[in-house]
Amino acid sequence: MPGAGPGFFTAEEREVVAAACDRLIPPVDAHPGGRALGCADYIDGLLDAFAVDPPRIWAGGPFSGRAGGDARFDQFLPLTRVEELAWRTRIEGSQGRPDREFNGPVRGWQEEYRDGLAALGPDFATLDAAAQDARLEAAPTLRTLLYQHACEGAYGPPEYGGNRDLAGWRAIGYPGDVQPRGFSDAEVERRA
Amino acid sequence: MADVDAVVVGTGPAGATAADVLTDAGWSVVMLEKGANHLLDLEPPYAPRGHVSNDEVKCLTRHFLGPDPFLEPRTFRHREGEGDRIHTGGVNNLPSTVGGGGFHADGKLPRFREVDFRARTGLGPVEGADVVDWPFGYDELEPYYAAAERFVGVAGDHAGNPFAAWRSGPYPMPPGPDMYCARLTSEAATGLGFHPYRAPTGVNSVEYDGRPACNNCGFCAFFGCPIEAKGDPVAMLRRALHTGRCEIRPQAYVTEIVLDGSGRQARGVRYLDADGAPREVSARHVILGAGAFETPRLLLRSGVGNPDVVGRFLMYHLQTYVLGIFPFRLHAYRGRSVTHLMDDPIVPDAEATRAARDAGLPYFRGGIVEHGGGSHPVVEAMYSPWGETHTRLMLDSPMRDRMAAFTMQGEDLPQATNRIDLDPAVKDVWGLPAGRVTYAPHRHEAACAEHWAPRLEAVLRHAGAQSTFWITSPPLENARGRRQRDPTPISRHVMGTARLGTDPRTSVCDPWQRLHDVDNVVVTDSSVFPTSTGYGPTLTLVALAIRASRALANLAPLTSSRADALPGAPPSTR
């Protein structure tokens, strides 16, 4: 499972990510925040995707087991040669390798996070909300990336490491994947 | 001696249909697909691979169905004066995987109307556009439409749409269940004088062709169907494979059409295999079904096809999204995404005709209106701002669970300056020039959107929406307060870049979809469309591919007669 191994983040970085995700997706009423939803696990699982084979890029199918059928989402799918090139470049950066730089150098997400988290500061988690928001405002590149990934982690399938205990889906009344059970005709047609 | 009778480039609905018809006629076929295979086993009994799933992360943010914009960037600019490009990345990417563009769709499969094939003589020219007639009419295509509906498996109500063209028979299946949200908006539309009807969809409402009925999971567009309740594209590919005469080679990127010494005949194609090694297939015929973006790109880099026209007359649909927020939940994540359509903006009423004249245009040709709603939460979340507002919006869900959405697929008039060509600098992972789009809609499309959007907002308010707004894609350049970041059209309906015609000087393909200059190359995708109409292109391109492929294999033409037309809906008084 993502987050179970050593991962990409240091313990300090992981704490900053969790605190930042709790500002991007703060807890409100019965809706847990990004920290409790496991967004940091999701992001760590992505940045460390190639620590396992097949990599944690595309969850398997056709069913998760949550609505019947065999649970297969946790059997990740293998990538082709060029798909691996794309995902390694996106995550690790092009690192001067010609096969990754056919349109020029690419800065990878690992580097964006490492530098961006350093800019948020190792004391980030200890600050009050207003101070945290100010630091996030001052780091737009990281914030944009982090927000996209936090949204995926909060509301995506839990096999990617986030949406812990399906709490993201439960909070918003969304059923998630429903195959092979699906919805009855009455559930489609009627108001409730 | 050629390796095979036909090599087919692309495994989407265009290529799959050609392979189905040609293998049925006894031809040997090799299909080359640049993407990976997530669809079906390539050995008997060709079972589903089980890769497709209800997974928003995989399908919507991680490029599962391709093309990955890092590997295959495309570029965009509005016009030449803007410089080489203003955008690099994804531009109208249709899936590049075995099954192609069929994967992405929620399978609405309407036919065109009679007048769509003779817009020039029936309606007249429009200044600044190159509106033309098709080289054949609806009556000739009708039996092929009927065959296409059987090939894919279409569920629909033949008596629902008063503006529909005549039909020789009913749909192969009855319509599936109506979505709650679409029932609300349809009732409101009827109340305001519109004519909504139950959409023809390539989604099984009952078991069909050995595939199950849809169970309404709600993951249609951009996901692919985990239970094969959608016929396009798996039905045609599996039938072709079952003949034993079809081989599908995934991860085979076609680099070039190879001509013989005369330059008038194709000898086959060259491609790069999964390891990037160069290969060649020789074939008596080359079938291009790579889609209206990749087909002209391949023709251009091969130097094949009328060089004055290939890539030009690129058309999308100008999509107008009219959105209404309701005070209660609509659960549009259940069902087939879109279960109702209406054609009213395609058939101008007196008011639209007057508005067109006021805008200095001879007529408005709007588009089909899809009755849809919000869908899934990752996309909803990414469109929301961060902070407390995020969580409150997700709990309230105005942009997903409480939203009804009309999409009008506005007809896009053909203009020679709208085109696909080869980018001078940006490359794909195989080292070949990226395809570049140069595109700006005609003022007709903008005026038409401006006319219909407020009328569609009125429908949503009548249905109970507490607030409404509208946007278009591509954004209207003069739209105040509606600035959008992405200048590229979202529409995946790409057409026109190798247009059909009888005159080899002004078209690329002849009326049988053969290249004028290399007649054993046949284009079966929507590149051949001379005009875009206001309807989704898939059913028509499948019908055309059946017609062209049967002719190629010397099979008798299909026939039907208007005299035997099925009684349809009572005609509108319009």
pLDDT tens for A54-76 read 999 999 999 999 999 999 999 99
User: Is pLDDT above 70 for A4?
Assistant: no
Nearest CA in chain B to A160: B57
Task: Report pLDDT for B104.
Answer: 79
Task: Report pLDDT for A1.
Answer: 47
**Cβ separation B377–A57 shorter than 8 A:** no
Task: Report pLDDT for B570.
Answer: 75
CB atoms within 10 A of CB A93: 18
Q: Which residues contact A11 (CB under 8 A, 6 or more apart)?
A: none
CB nearest B335 (choices: A106, A152, A188): A188
pLDDT per position as a tens digit, A31-59: 999 999 999 999 999 999 999 999 999 99
CB B236 within 8 A of CB B228: no
Contacts 24+ apart (CB under 8 A), B382-388: B382/A147, B382/A148, B382/A151, B386/A23, B386/A24, B386/A25, B386/A136, B386/A143, B386/A147, B387/A23, B387/A24, B387/A26, B387/A133, B388/A26, B388/A28
**Cβ separation B180–A83 shorter than 8 A:** no
Ranges of beta strands (E only) in B374-462 are 403-410, 419-427, 433-438
Task: Report pLDDT for B105.
Answer: 79
d(CA B188, CA B328): 16
3-state SS class at B446: helix
Nearest CA in chain A to B429: A102
CB B524 within 8 A of CB B15: yes
Residues of chain B with confidence (pLDDT) below 50: 480-482
Query: Phi, psi (5° rounding) for residue B272?
Result: -105, 130
**Cβ separation A33–B180 shorter than 8 A:** no
Phi-psi region of B386 (alpha: psi -120 to 50; beta: other; left: phi over 0): beta
d(CA A50, CA A117): 21
The Cα of A55 is separated from the nearest Cα of chain B by a number of Å equal to 13
Nearest-CA neighbor of B48 among A77, A79, A62, A78?
A62
Nearest-CA neighbor of B405 among B374, B382, B376?
B374
d(CA B269, CA B302): 10
Burial class (CB in 10 A: 0-12, 13-18, 19+), B301: middle
CB B226 within 8 A of CB B217: yes
Q: Confirm or reject contact between A63 and chain B (CB < 8 A).
A: yes
A59 contacts on B by Cβ (under 8 Å): 53, 55, 57-58
**Cβ separation B334–A183 shorter than 8 A:** yes
Nearest CA in chain B to A20: B387
pLDDT per position as a tens digit, A87-112: 999 999 999 999 999 999 999 999 99
d(CA B10, CA A8): 39
Query: Phi, psi (5° rounding) for residue B238?
Result: -65, -40
3-state SS class at B541: helix
Task: Report pLDDT for B513.
Answer: 98
Nearest CA in chain B to A77: B51
Nearest-CA neighbor of B185 among B406, B453, B349, B367?
B406
Task: Report pLDDT for B574.
Answer: 66
Testing the interface with B: which of A148, A172, A184, A187 to mutate, by most B Cβ within 10 A?
A: A172
CB nearest A172 (choices: B57, B64, B377): B377
d(CA B552, CA B21): 10
Provide, for chain B, the percentages of residues in helix, strand and coil under a 3-state DSSP scheme, each rounded to the nearest 5: 25, 20, 55
Testing the interface with A: which of B33, B34, B59, B62 to mutate, by most A Cβ within 10 A?
A: B62
